[in-house]
Amino acid sequence: MIIGVGIDVAEIDRFDDALRRTPGMADRLFVERELTLPSGERRGIASLAARFAAKEALAKALGAPGGLRWTDAEVLTEASGQPRLSVRGTVAARAAELGVRAWHVSLSHDAGVASAVVIAEG
């Protein structure tokens, strides 16, 4: 059963500007594994914008309650390249309240826009 669906878009240049203007913003939004590629290189801005959109979409799928921490949701990448969500803390607590047992996530970025769709399944 689908419990919630969320979608979000982020303008990549605007997101990049916000990260440059606000020191520490990336650390408030992402955990270290999200900021770097498996090779250890810094993840590109389009990829980070898509991950930010996924966190926004996740909040929408949960009904957009207040009090969710950005770093309590992590967008991981499987060896196949498929994105996967890992939740803990405030996000896991809200998901448990709603009966979420599985997550589905899709990320994309093209033409200056990053997007994400999240489906919460119970």
List residues forming the annotated binding site for Mg(2+): 8, 56
Binding site residue list: 8, 56
Helices 45-61, 12-21: axis angle to 10 degrees equals: 100
Q: What's the number of CA atoms in the CB half-sphere (13 Å) around residue 90?
A: 13
Indicate the burial class of 6 (C-beta count within 10 angstroms; 0-12, 13-18, 19 or more).
buried
